[in-house]
Amino acid sequence: MSAPGDDSRPGPARPGPSGPQPPRPPARPWPRWVPLAVLGVLVAVFLFTSIGSGRGGQTDLTFSRLQEQVRDGNVRTLEYDPSSGKISGELREAVDGSTRFRSTGPNNDFQPSFVELLDEKSVEWRYTRTETNPIVNILVWILPVVLIIGFFVWMNRRAQGQMGAVMNIGRSRAKVYNAEKPKTTFSDVAGYSAVKQEITEVVDFLRSPQKFREIGARIPKGVLLVGPPGTGKTLIARAVAGEAGVPFVAITGSDFMEMFVGVGAARVRDLFQTARKQAPAIIFIDEIDSIGRKRGAGLGGGHDEREQTLNQMLAEMDGFEGSEGIVMMAATNRPDILDPALLRPGRFDRQIMVPLPTLEERIEILKVHFRDKKIADDVSVEVVARGTPGMSGADLANLVNEAALFAVRRGATAIHKEDFEDARDRVLMGLRRPTVMMNEEEKEHTAYHEGGHAVAAYVLEHADPVHKVTILPTGMALGMTQQLPEEERYSHDREFLNDMLCVLLGGRVAEEVVFSTQSTGAQNDLVRATEIARRMVREWGMSDRIGPMAWGSQGAVFLGEDLVHTRDYSDETARVIDEEVERILRTQEQRTRELLTRFRPGLDAVARALLEHETLDGLEVERLVDDAMGFHAGGPRKLRGPDEPVPADTAPDQPAGSEVLSPTPYAKRPPNTT
């Protein structure tokens, strides 16, 4: 399937009486240059005022120096401004290059004694008043008025915007795409031929509903797409709209929720009114589990607003007839928490499973993502697809993109095989941490730990083959053993699960066999092994003491279950379950210990190779074990069960030249994973 996250959607359109109308353009704000122009005018006015009242070629005199000039008879005229205390006038002879002078400051003392001195020296003097700039007077009166008016205009616009939002709060936020805009078709959806065939009836009904009406057939009102995240449920819904050539009304479940009670129900009504105007049309609700959860479940008896929204949706789905030409589609990855009333016939009549892609489907999906990439000749799409079991369409898109990024980092002009290997390791195991430096003791412990996983996975019959083993710190682990299945599996028998437990316990047992100690590196292995053993006993009926009885896993509150989950078995049964889980783990631990003791030479060979090369692939692990154990070149010797005899020459008590380190625990080691 093509990239689920790559559907670029065109802009929304508002529904109108005769079809979708273009959205109303928003009110254009003031241009950015307007406030800058106003600020520039104000600065120019004040600069003009200051220049007009500047020196203008005058000489500044202090009051004491001015008195000396008066006594010397050098002052011809004098003007005094009482409001500002400024004294100016004209000199008979130039001082400092100018005959004009002025004297400003707080020390100007225009007292009667100074007036008598002026009269004595026959100086013409008079009182004057400086006229202010008329532009400044205008600004002083007009600018506050303009600011007040602007403030009220801004408040009015803000209030109108809030009022418009309040009035439109009950309108649906659905995006309407008309018949010309959905360009996605079934040809853009790689794989999933069964899903396409099952959903073709909906497309035929929307294209030509008349032939269904003539026979009296009733098309399902609702189609629920169920599948894991990333499988492309939304893309399939868009492809249905593109194939049928009808308007597509899309919305997510969270768009109905609002802080005001009743808004969700109002939006549901508006959604169906919009769809009726566009009929025939498709209503698509993504993540419907956000509003379609079981009513009355969870803390406090549920959420009233969500339940009212669900009730309105149930009523609307019962309200429209199939003849209206409206088909409702929804997508979820949690169908178990949906309300039963939502899934009954007459509402979501049909559930279509969109599972993880198979090998053939992964090949088709990868071909779609290879279209716009420069792929080298050494890359085989079949090999890449075989090495990605359990990946969804979104995971495959991410894998191809990561490979392209690795190619760019290397400076290559095309994506090579090694880029896909690095990208798969990055996706499955995590980012390699070159800054983590282990000492020799930790490195040897890690080598034997990963060697225990690898040897157990190689010699056990039902275990998945080893793909890669590394002791380079990756993700949260100091080392990693990666297994890839040879073929697709959809169910697992007890033998496979027992071998899986042995592989998980192989790292811990290898450290016990070689170093006679235990470390924190097996934390993740023990968690996974305990979970598998518990499910074998409690859910899969693989315990002789429990028998053919099963109890599902306990659900969490936020998934729609009750706050208090009652246990439907007794305390005695719980004790038996714990004992059986312990028995299974103890049995497989002892089996793994015997296995690694028998294959100790192969374990030492793999560990030494890891210490030397740090990374080994599956073929190298097989060769090392075969050479160390003296197996023939015809292939590996698989153990069919814990009681299979092994030749005496393949199980020495202690290999020659091996070195056993003294036990040294290290508590700060990060959890290791298989």
Q: Residues of 269-304 as b/e, b for ≥16 C-beta within 10 angstroms?
A: bbbbebbebbebbbbbbbbbbbbbbbbebbeeebbe
Q: How far apart are the C-alpha atoms of 206 and 323, rounded to whole Å?
A: 10
- DSSP E strands, 433-579: 466-470, 480-483
Query: Is 634's pLDDT higher than 60?
Result: no
Task: Let me know whether 308 and 378 are in one domain.
Answer: no
Instruction: Name the residue with higher pLDDT: 361 or 633.
Output: 361
| Spatial CB neighbours of 433, under 8 Å, sequence gap ≥ 6 | 473, 474, 475
Which residue, 116, 145, 167, sits at the end of a domain? 167
How confident is the model over 65-110, as pLDDT tens digits? Answer: 888 888 888 888 888 887 777 888 888 888 877 888 887 766 566 7
Which residue, 67, 98, 127, sits at the end of a domain? 127
Q: Would you say residue 671 lies in a domain?
A: no
What DSSP string runs through 79-94? EEETTTTEEEEEEEEE
Q: How confident is the model at residue 316 (pLDDT cuts 50, 70, 90)?
A: confident
How confident is the model over 512-544, as pLDDT tens digits? Answer: 999 988 888 888 899 999 999 999 999 898 998
Tokens of 568: 């439907």
Q: How confident is the model at residue 32 (pLDDT cuts 50, 70, 90)?
A: low
Alpha helices in 53-133 (DSSP H): 63-71, 112-120
| Spatial CB neighbours of 626, under 8 Å, sequence gap ≥ 6 | 602, 633, 636
Q: Would you say residue 41 lies in a domain?
A: no
Q: Is there a cis peptide before residue 144, judged by omega within 30 degrees of 0?
A: no
Mean pLDDT of the chain: 75
Q: How confident is the model at residue 287 (pLDDT cuts 50, 70, 90)?
A: confident
Task: Let me know whether 232 and 322 are in one domain.
Answer: yes
Q: Would you say residue 214 lies in a domain?
A: yes
450 in active site: yes
CATH number, position 566 = 1.20.58.760
CATH number, position 411 = 1.10.8.60
As a dihedral over the C-alpha atoms of residue 533, residue 535, residue 540, residue 545, rounded to 10 degrees, the angle is 60
Segments forming the whole domain that contains residue 160: 134-167
Distances, alpha carbon 395 to alpha carbons 163, 187, 389, 405, in Å:
45, 20, 11, 15
Q: Would you say residue 661 lies in a domain?
A: no
Place of tokens 């003296």: 630
The answer to whether the beta carbons of residues 400 and 373 sit under 8 Å apart is yes
Task: Give the closest residue to 244 by CA, choosing from 278, 277, 202, 276.
Answer: 202
Residue 371's pLDDT is what? Answer: 85
Place of tokens 């600011």: 147
Task: Let me know whether 401 and 448 are in one domain.
Answer: no
Q: Would you say residue 235 lies in a domain?
A: yes
Query: Is 663's pLDDT higher than 70?
Result: no
Active-site choice (243, 450, 580, 622): 450
Mean pLDDT of 189-214: 79
Mean pLDDT of 257-262: 60
Task: Let me know whether 398 and 311 are in one domain.
Answer: no
